[in-house]
Structure 1
Amino acid sequence: MYYYWHGGDIKKAETEIFKGITLKGKYDVVENAFIQATLIDPYSIDLKFSLASTQIIQKKIPDALQIYKQILHLDPNHFNTNLVYGVYSRINGDEKTYNRSIAKLKKIDSKKANEYLQKIKQTEETMEEKLNVEVPANLPANGHAIVILGYALGEDASMKPTLIERLKAGLAIAKKYPNSKIIVSGGVPKQGVTEADAMSKWLISQGIPKERILLESNSTDTVENGLFSTAILEKENIKDITLVTSASHIRRALTVFKEASDFYDKMNGKKSNRKFTNMVYLDYASLAEAQKVPNDEKLVIYRDLFRTSGIWQYPGLQR
């Protein structure tokens, strides 16, 4: 896990930890570590769940499904495993297993099962939403925020073209709606500069007043973008949000932000009725192509939905 979070010398890991197993990248390191851990402690469900999570990250769905089946043989009433096993089976083309899993979830905890069915329904609807490549019309003049999601900086802290294109889209909205706040979301500092720092500086250079910009500079991925930005939305009492990112990323981002907003509502005992619109940088050949949702994208959308809803990828280690 240290290697997963911080990187390291693959050759050294091959020699000292994995005794000659050839590794291709950090996820190989983590997967092999959990394989060994499950052999050392075959009773640990958390270790098996972590192994399957690593396989899901690598899009090894059949391998992960086999591990989930092992968990369910040991603990048939494990709610989280029944849930992810059913949904990932459905993405893999197995509707019967999905239906059996949902029926099992209702027996284990009907209230919680129905809550997740609502999350799944909302996610399916989000995947059908129209992507906007132009500034949305009729956005509210007040109580509205533009949330621009970050993208990894270069080692020299420079912004890559993808991030600049997202900023251009956000800038177009900001010019049309001058009363809207702008949240720039992204951490992972390079040379002491976070994504949010770089984004804010760029927007200011384009004539946006500094006081319009709110920095969210702690997130390291989409789930944290959603959770940490929602905390800002709560503080600022913002109910209307236009989310700006790449077309290939927007459905996952919207899913995460909606789930994060629902969680804050539940935690605070209220109904904020936040409205989400979108504007995208088109990183596809055409808008028609961008509207399609391939299975690989569905996989990461649901993976991040589950993480945002409180299911840890690596129980006790990492959401």
Structure 2
Amino acid sequence: MNKKIKVLSAVLGFIMLTGCSSTSKYPSSNDQEKIAQLTQTGIHYYWHGGNLSKAEKEFFKGITLKGKYDVVENSFAEASALSPYRTDLRFGIASTQIIQKKTPEALQTYKDILVMYPDNFEAGILLAGYSKQMGDMKTFNETVEVLKKNYPEKTQAYLEKFAMADNFSNAKLNTEAFKVNGNHAIVILGYALGEGGVMKPTLVERLKKGYELHKKNPKSPIIVSGGVQKGGVTEAFLMRNWLVSKGVPSKLIYMDDLAKDTVGNAIYSTEILATLKPEKVTLISSASHIRRGLSVFQEAANLKGLNVEYSNLVYLDYPSLEEAQKVSEAEKLVIYRDLIRTSGIWAYPGIQQ
């Protein structure tokens, strides 16, 4: 945690404990303008990055920024200092800390929210979920006990979501294409394009797995998912063209060219699945990404009321399948993060799911 964030955390902690602050609960119009500017700067850097030197000069004097997420975290921290009672700004800080693998700091941010607002469900369930994935079952159990008293049905629903994700974390990964009986669809997840709109090897390997599965299931519709543009084209557009070039009938291919990340993949592809109404879906991605993909796709299907059975086919981006089956602490955190985002608890409330 850098010096400026430590100072801000100390100030905000003092405000919560004493109730004494020169900062009004309702910021002035000037402060509101600064807050809007800071949050917009933060979310811009979240998606696009930018000039770090310019950010240091214009927004964060005296702070050396190491990367774009430093800008995001500092943006929400500065905004929160101006309006310490706004939980959305604190959630923005915590979400960025999770991205940067600063999990202890994120957990403390959620605890700070709960000091101010003890009945805040979102802070509680995030604290519980991340504590569980960190192996801190004491905090998990204590937090869940409080949540159950205040929100019994909602808490139980999230415990079931966590159990579902845990089951997918233990799923056997398939590296060879297989025949699927019944009403079946295929979903291939995109991967960031290179400069000028060129498919990177990882995306090509995922497409190869999709093509192999198509050969085993030639009537199954295929959804290609990815909407981040580079060079004027999206992942989905290039994926479709690649499959067509291999002889896959274009009428079988559906494009999700809106998704900007894994959560978007699940939400927008599930919209297409809702029209296709398959009973079984095979999700294709890299081995390092598939468990997260399965969890968020199942959650998106549940929210849509779809009764879908998911299987997987992976491009093996590990030295061995045995190694691929292991789930790291970092992956566990990301699985829960995107599961919770898909469920409707935004990472940056009101700005970015």
State the TM-score, normalized to the length of structure 2. Answer: 0.86
1:163 to 188, 203, 225: 203
SS in structure 1 of the partner of residue 230 of structure 2: coil
After the TM superposition, which residues 130-141 of structure 1 pair with which residues of structure 2 at under 5 Å, given as runs?
130-137=172-179, 139-140=180-181
Q: 1:151 is matched with which residue?
A: 191
In the alignment, structure 1 residue 74 sits paired with structure 2 residue 108? no
The structural deviation recorded for 1:296 is: 0.2
The structural deviation recorded for 1:218 is: 0.6
Detail structure 1 runs of 4+ shifted over 4 Å in the superposition. Answer: none
SS in structure 1 of the partner of residue 311 of structure 2: strand
Does the 8 A contact of 2:178 with 2:216 survive in 1?
no
Deviation string, structure 1 residues 263-291 (Cα, Å, up to 9, x no partner) = 001xxxxxx42110100000001001000
Does the 8 A contact of 1:233 with 1:239 survive in 2?
no
Q: 2:322 is matched with which residue?
A: 288
The structural deviation recorded for 1:2 is: 2.6
In the alignment, structure 1 residue 310 sits paired with structure 2 residue 344? yes
- CA–CA distance in structure 2, aligned partners of residues 23 and 97 of structure 1: 32
- CA–CA distance in structure 1, aligned partners of residues 99 and 251 of structure 2: 39
In the alignment, structure 1 residue 65 sits paired with structure 2 residue 99? no
Structure possessing the higher relative contact order (Cα contacts under 8 Å, 6 or more residues apart): 1
Does the 8 A contact of 2:95 with 2:348 survive in 1?
yes
Residue type at the aligned position of 2:91: F
Deviation string, structure 1 residues 162-209 (Cα, Å, up to 9, x no partner) = 000000001000011111111100011112110001111111111111
- CA–CA distance in structure 1, aligned partners of residues 250 and 144 of structure 2: 49
- CA–CA distance in structure 1, aligned partners of residues 53 and 138 of structure 2: 44
Residue type at the aligned position of 2:52: I
- CA–CA distance in structure 1, aligned partners of residues 287 and 164 of structure 2: 19
1:11 to 53, 67, 74: 53
- CA–CA distance in structure 2, aligned partners of residues 5 and 298 of structure 1: 23
Larger Rg: 2
Deviation string, structure 1 residues 19-68 (Cα, Å, up to 9, x no partner) = 13111221110101111112111222221111011101111101111111
Number of corresponding residues: 311
Does the 8 A contact of 2:223 with 2:255 survive in 1?
yes
- CA–CA distance in structure 2, aligned partners of residues 99 and 44 of structure 1: 27
- CA–CA distance in structure 2, aligned partners of residues 118 and 87 of structure 1: 12
The structural deviation recorded for 1:238 is: 1.8
Q: 2:86 is matched with which residue?
A: 44
Residue type at the aligned position of 2:71: V
Q: 1:240 is matched with which residue?
A: 280
Q: Return 31-40 or 285-294, whichever deviates more.
A: 31-40
In the alignment, structure 1 residue 31 sits paired with structure 2 residue 73? yes
- CA–CA distance in structure 1, aligned partners of residues 154 and 296 of structure 2: 19
In the alignment, structure 1 residue 298 sits paired with structure 2 residue 338? no
Residue type at the aligned position of 2:295: T
Q: 1:116 is matched with which residue?
A: 158
- CA–CA distance in structure 2, aligned partners of residues 282 and 15 of structure 1: 44
Q: 1:203 is matched with which residue?
A: 243
After the TM superposition, which residues 165-180 of structure 1 pair with which residues of structure 2 at under 5 Å, given as runs?
165-180=205-220
1:125 to 158, 167, 174: 167
CA RMSD of aligned residues (A): 1.0
Q: 2:310 is matched with which residue?
A: 276
Deviation string, structure 1 residues 281-314 (Cα, Å, up to 9, x no partner) = 0000100100001100000000000000000101
1:250 to 261, 274, 290: 290
Does the 8 A contact of 2:224 with 2:239 survive in 1?
yes
SS in structure 1 of the partner of residue 194 of structure 2: coil
The structural deviation recorded for 1:150 is: 0.2
- CA–CA distance in structure 2, aligned partners of residues 92 and 276 of structure 1: 27
SS in structure 1 of the partner of residue 187 of structure 2: strand
- CA–CA distance in structure 2, aligned partners of residues 235 and 317 of structure 1: 28
State the TM-score, normalized to the length of structure 1. Answer: 0.95
